[in-house]
Amino acid sequence: MIVRSWIVFLWIVALSYGERTNVLLICVDDLRPEIKSLGANYIHSPAIDTLVESGRAFTRHYVQAPTCGASRYALLTGTYAENENQRSNNALFSVASVAETEPFSLPRQFREKGYRTVAVGKISHHPGGLGGENWDDPEDLEMPGAWVVNLMPTNPWKHPRGAMHGYAGGKARIRGESPPVEHREGDDLTYTDGWITREALKQMAELAQSEEPFFLAVGIMKPHLPFAAPLSYREFYDGVTLPPIPHPEKPTGLSTWHRSGEFMRNYNHAGNDPRTDVAYADFLRRSYAACVTYADRQVARLLEQLEKTGLAENTIVLLWGDHGYHLGEHAIWGKHALFEESLHAPLVIRTPGMKHPGVRTDTIVETVDIYPTLCELAGIDIPSGLSGDSLVGLLQDPSAGDGIAISYWRNTETIRTSRYRLIRHQREEGPPAYELYDHDSAEGGTVNIAEAYPKIVKKLSGMIDESLSPTNPEPP
Active-site pick, 61, 125, 224, 323: 125
**Residue 261 main-chain phi, psi, to 5 deg:** -60, -45
Question: Nearest-5° angle of CA 213, CA 214, CA 216?
Answer: 165
Question: Sign (positive/negative) of CA torsion 369, 125, 31, 51?
Answer: negative
Using CA atoms, how far apart are residues 129 and 136, in angstroms rounded to an integer? 8
Are 54 and 358 a contacting pair, CB within 8 Å?
A: yes
Strands 420-425 and 433-438: antiparallel
DSSP 85: G
Using CA atoms, how far apart are residues 376 and 372, in angstroms rounded to an integer? 6
User: What torsion, rounded to 10 degrees, do the Cα atoms 408, 366, 472, 425 define?
Assistant: 20
Using CA atoms, how far apart are residues 12 and 18, in angstroms rounded to an integer? 10
Contacts of 173 (CB under 8 A, 6+ apart): 165, 166, 167, 226, 266, 267
Around Cβ 383, how many Cβ atoms within 10 Å? 20
Active-site pick, 27, 68, 291, 375: 68
Q: Is 27 tagged catalytic?
A: no
Are 345 and 32 a contacting pair, CB within 8 Å?
A: yes
Query: Can you spell out the DSSP letters for 145-178?
Result: TS-SEEE---TTSSSHHHHHTB-GGGPBP-TTTS
Q: Is 340 helix (H, G, I), strand (E, B) or coil?
A: helix
Are 387 and 80 a contacting pair, CB within 8 Å?
A: yes
Q: Is 125 tagged catalytic?
A: yes
**Residue 285 main-chain phi, psi, to 5 deg:** -65, -35
Omega of the bond prior to 66 within 30 degrees of 0, cis? no
**Residue 244 main-chain phi, psi, to 5 deg:** -65, 150
Q: Which residues are catalytic?
A: 68, 125
